[in-house]
Structure 1
Amino acid sequence: MSGRFELESEYSPAGDQPAAIEQLSRGIARGERHQVLLGVTGSGKTFTVANVIATANRPVLVLSHNKTLAAQLYSEFKHFFPRNAVEYFVSYFDFYQPEAYIPRTDTFIEKDSSVNDEIERLRLSTMNSLLSRRDVIVVASVSCIYGIGSREDYESMVIPLRVGQSVGRDPLLARLVDLQYTRNDYALERGRFRVRGDVVELHPAYTEDAVRIEFFGDEIERFTRFDPLTGESLESLDALNVFPSKQFATPQEKIGRAILSIREELGDRIAWFEKQGKLLEAQRIKMRTEFDLEQLQELGFCSGIENYSRHISARPTGSRPGVLLDFFPADYLLVVDESHATLPQIGGMHAGDLARKKVLVEHGFRLPSALDNRPLNFEEFRSLVGQALYVSATPGALELGWAGPANVAEQIVRPTGLVDPAIVLKPLGGQIDDLIEEVRRTVEKKQRVLVTTLTKRTAEEL
């Protein structure tokens, strides 16, 4: 699917919005890499960005610095673009305690987390939309610079199906298991499938509805999308793409190669610890890694599999992990909301993660390759950005310097026509007398006065 963005709104641009939309749209068409939308609070910056997106008509990543603001933007863009794919990609943990080690007290903190199933569904839906259509807006937090596995591996595991296709029921079931779907003939929940004779019912991990696949011999006879709760049929389909049920999806042959590579690194690491006289660390890394390898061998998955991502994707040492940005085409548009706060946050993620994992590696809790399961550093992030629009009421010197004065669009006049009042700075001396005089003049005009102070005591004395 390659539809156009269709913006729906009962309002038209007003105030400084039309000029800002025109300037930013022309900049994108010219190929300007960096532009800034400097707009006062309440000037309708989100509506301006929506109009720019509709004009540019290319996949968009909207980056926000916290989940709450991302959810608000997601809701607004869903309202503006009801016929297009608006997706939400934030951390799927309701609670997350990363594994850590405190050498001073010899305390190891085990990884603990609680996954939000609905947000996991939305994350998978994001990846699937980016692989299947161009009219996509993804609203994301800094989670988008963390590793999610290889796009090539994920894409290679997709099962394309169509009505009339010759594919046996049992081979299809085996493929579904490879995609980490679980068979359960009683409860059809997200990420599961059930089998009833020649009928396979599948609840994809990335949708709220389920799909019924009916066979006639070894030929697919019909696809029906239905409500898994009521069983009500919603529509018939001619074709169906089944995507993996987990973001760290890997072909089994790659798992086999990765196990050999991990064993090789484990042997080197044990030898290094023993040479240094660190026998406890050598025993610790051997036990922990062997346990993970047994799970990978039997299940194709293990707790903390992301720490072996470099081996699984066969990346060189020190290389960056696969991230959500890899799922976007080269011509995507990046919108950084509240850029004065978001850009510094992106720059700080890598150093904090590295400091924690270095301690784990030094004391035998993780192999050195775990250091390559990390967020992007700032330069890696910049290398994956083509054209960017930075949105803020107070943009930082960094983005203003990249854009230059010619590529800063200002929104000072709100759609209502109101502007912020002028601010006058006065010296500290004689401020009380000056304030009283200003109040007197204002009261004579039968107008109101609001005085704010720094402390409660000052307010009482005034």
Structure 2
Amino acid sequence: MSSKFKIVSEFEPKGDQPTAIETLAKNIKNGKKFLTLLGATGTGKTFSIANIIEAINKPTLVMAPNKTLAAQLYNELKELFPNNAVHYFVSYYDYYQPEAYMPTSGMYIEKDFSVNEEIEKLRLASAHAVRTRKDVIIVATVSCIYGIGNPEEWSAVSLNLEVGQTIDRSDIIKGLIKMNYERKSVEFKQGIVRVKGDIVDIFPAYLDTAIRISLFGDEIESIHEIHPISNKVLKKLPNCRIFPATHFIIPEANKIRALESIAAELNKQIQHFKQEGKYAEAQRIERRVKFDLEMMREMGYCKGIENYSRHLDGRQPGTPPMTLIDYFPDDFLIVVDESHITIPQIHGMIGGDRSRKKNLVQFGWRLPSAFDNRPLTFDEWENKIKNIIFMSATPGDYELKKSGGVSAEQIIRPTGLVDPTIEIRPAKNQIDDLLEEIRKVVERKNRVLITTLTKRMAEDIAEYYADLGVKIAYLHSEVDTVERFEILRQLREGTYDVLVGINLLREGLDLPEVELVAILDADKLGFLRDTRSLIQTIGRASRNVMGRAILYGDRISPAMRAAIRETNRRRDKQIAFNEENHITPQTIKKNILKSLSEEQELKEKEVRRLKKSVKRKIIELEEKGDVDIMVQYLENKMYLAAKELRFEDAAYLRDKIQDIKQTYEIKA
């Protein structure tokens, strides 16, 4: 385990990258708090950030505006830092319906959700890495500013075990149960402890491997890291430290204090409602909270326990919750990707949370302390910053003000691709004019993106062009993530030649086939046609060597003028670099990902093929009477499947091995 970051890559910084890396790293080392990296699309901003992290050697939190971009950054950084701890921290809800009350209809909506266990494991792995390593990068969405429990208490209840330690087996099990581990004898997955005689197998909630504790009486004889499916020993360990299976851990002393504090707040709220003549609300809050208190006394948990987090943490009213940021050491770096989007997201989180809870508190569904189960306010988040790099092709006013302008810029693309050419055409007859351009682009087997100002206009254009034989799709806000992925994939494949939308064609679209971006009514005022939006939208054509943009408008607005000026500045700088270095730009070649349904179909096909192959091999070996060879063959296949993370295949093979051993009475 290294304590220093080390990039593993065949590439070296080029173009603007060396200057940007040196400037930003030097400023961080000199103690400058706020920095801004202006980086055009495709200039290798992630590679530059990786080099900065390596140079300053600080734990780093990378914040992205959505799960898609977070996953992209995570994969890129994990590839660059294979020997360091790179982790992924996003919301673990596959589905989430928050608790709410609508007084006009008298309807109470209970909280409903579906948790993704794999993402929960990744979140716990992030917390574990930050608390145990210095060479750690966490890639997160803005969900990292929500409360997740006290890091000191989370670490304090961890279980330290070492070879030669005197400890009773029951004490190990009790310690694990207190940390929300479950004891089971058959099922063995993350968060489970399995006991057989003097052997205690622990599957930490944040790891892919398990820990085996072998005891001799009340002394730990050995500790091994084992494979959770095959039980094969992977490594001998002198010691280990097991952390909780959940972020929210309540020590017994805290629970007693919290129950008293909640009861006191309840009595105060009941009196408040009665004084205002709100007897129904008083009765409701009394019934709900007393039930929760009883559940916490008996079970240590209740539904919606997070609404009592202020009491459980021992915080004063209005004080900020503990978040992932509090798990980091004092000296760490924050990188905000697409900062012009992410910063407004952080600003807006607290407002939406409070407005929803206001009705719940006012009408007796929740105690006022529920307001303190919340994300950080913007000021609270800002106060936790030690060093920060804002990263965007179009930094916002906040970022530029804080950093005193652009700290470093990356305009030059190592690939040589230049920013699109821009043409302005009249808005009159824009639909028919664009149709002619679409036909030219389609002849060259390239694609077109169209942005409109209204949903109605996008629908009308899609219908009109479709009637004329154009293969067009309409991308709008009601399209879910899976369908959106499918439409973009089909655009790249050529099922569609044109994509039309409103504000969905800006950040995070990597479409090398797009030759033309058409912006209708580009001269209209508004946030969809401000300078930053125009630059971002024009940039969608920057991955194609023929990339160009047509802005339709009857005048040149100030936003258009600024966007054109900035795009041309970047274009001229890239052309000069290309000429100086004899670079001929080429369109980016990027694999088209399979659809989710195709991936699932392929996965099922592979499982069927494996079963067929195994069945044939078993029959062949049974005829020869080679049972031991048969078991060895299946075990080898199982280890290979597990190594390649094909856990369904590994589980199938494990069950087959057990069946054969039982049939032929072979001892394990």
State TM-score, norm by structure 1: 0.92
- Contact 1:15/1:417 (CA < 8 Å) preserved in 2? no
1:88-112 deviation line (CA, Å, top 9, x unaligned): 1100010011100000000000000
- Would you say 1:419 and 2:418 are equivalent positions? yes
Counterpart CA distance in 1 for 2:71 and 2:349 is: 21
* Distance (Å, rounded) in 2 between the aligned partners of 1:354 and 1:172: 42
* Residue 126 of structure 2 is aligned to residue 126 of structure 1: yes
Q: Distance in 2 between matches of 1:208 and 1:73?
A: 22
Counterparts of 2:94 and 2:110, CA distance in 1? 17
Larger RCO, structures 1/2 (Cα 8 Å, 6+ apart): 1
Name the structure 2 match of 1:139: 139
Partner of 2:288: 288
Q: CA deviation at 1:220?
A: 0.8
TM-score by length of 2: 0.64
* Distance in structure 1 (CA, Å) of the matches to 2:184 and 2:415: 57
Q: Helix, strand or coil for the counterpart of 1:54?
A: helix
> For 1:229-264, what per-residue CA distance to the aligned partner results, in whole angstroms no more than 9, with x for missing partners?
222221111111010011111211211110111111
Q: CA deviation at 1:159?
A: 1.1
Q: For residues 42-57 of structure 1, what are the structure 2 equivalents within 5 Å?
A: 42-57=42-57
Return 224-233 or 331-340, whichever deviates more: 224-233
Name the SS for the 2:104 alignment partner.
helix
State the alpha-carbon separation in 2 of the partners of residues 93 and 234 from structure 1. Answer: 33
Counterpart of 2:522 in structure 1 is none
The alpha-carbon distance between structure 1 residues 453 and 347, as it changes in their structure 2 partners (threshold 3 A), is closer
Equivalent position amino acid for 2:390 in 1:
Y
**Corresponding residue of 2:354:** 354
- TM-aligned CA distance change 1:404 to 1:217, over 3 Å: same
Identity %: 49
Q: How do 1:25-424 and structure 2 match up within 5 A?
A: 25-405=25-405, 407-420=406-419, 423=422
How much has 1:419 moved relative to structure 2? 3.1
Structure 2 vs 1, CA of residues 452 and 380 (structure 1 numbering), >3 Å: closer, same or farther? closer
Question: Which ranges in structure 2 are unaligned for 5 or more consecutive residues?
Answer: 438-443, 453-460, 469-551, 553-668
Q: 1:408/1:280 Cα in 2 relative to 1: closer, same or farther (>3 Å)?
A: same
The question of whether the paired residues in 2 share the 8 Å contact of 1:252 and 1:300 is answered with no
Whether the aligned pair in 2 keeps the contact of 1:164 and 1:219 (CA below 8 Å) is yes
Q: 1:267 to 1:388 in 2, by over 3 A?
A: same
Matches of 1:107 and 1:369, distance apart in 2: 22
Identify the range of structure 1 (207-216 vs 224-233) with the bigger mean alpha-carbon deviation.
Answer: 224-233
Cα distance between partner residues in 1 of 2:384 and 2:337: 18
1:93-151 deviations in Å (ceiling 9; x for gaps): 10011100000000000000100000000100111111111100000001110010111
Judged with a 3 Å threshold, the aligned counterparts in structure 2 of structure 1 residues 429 and 223 are, in CA distance, closer, same or farther, namely closer
Offset at 1:322?
A: 0.6
Following superposition, the deviation at residue 451 of structure 1 comes to 10
**1:20 match:** 20
Partner-residue secondary structure (3-state), 1:105: coil
CA distance in 2, matches of 1:43, 1:204: 40
| Pair 1:290–1:415, CA change in 2 (3 A) | same
Q: Distance in 2 between matches of 1:420 and 1:266?
A: 62
Number of aligned residue pairs: 447
* Residues 397-442 of structure 1 deviation map (CA, whole Å, 9 limit, x = unaligned): 110111113x52111111123432564668x59999xx9xxx9xxx
Contact 1:310 1:369 in 2 (8 A): yes
SS of 1:104's partner is coil
When residues 390 and 308 of structure 1 are mapped into structure 2, their CA distance, relative to the original with a 3 A threshold, is same
Please tell me whether the aligned partners of residues 412 and 419 of structure 1 are also in contact (alpha carbons under 8 angstroms). Answer: no
Q: Which deviates more, 361-370 or 186-195?
A: 186-195
SS in 2 for 1:58: coil
Runs ≥4 residues deviating over 6 A: 429-432, 449-455
SS in 1 for 2:302: coil
Shift in alpha-carbon separation, 1:288–1:185, aligned structure 2, 3 A: same
Farther-moved stretch of structure 1 (186-195 vs 320-329) = 186-195
- SS of the residue corresponding to residue 212 of structure 1 reads strand
The unaligned stretches of length 5 or more in structure 1 are 440-446
Change in CA separation of 1:305 and 1:419 when aligned onto 2, cut-off 3 Å: same
| Paired residues of 2:2 and 2:84 also in contact (CA < 8 A) | no
- How far 1:217 sits from its partner (Å)? 1.3
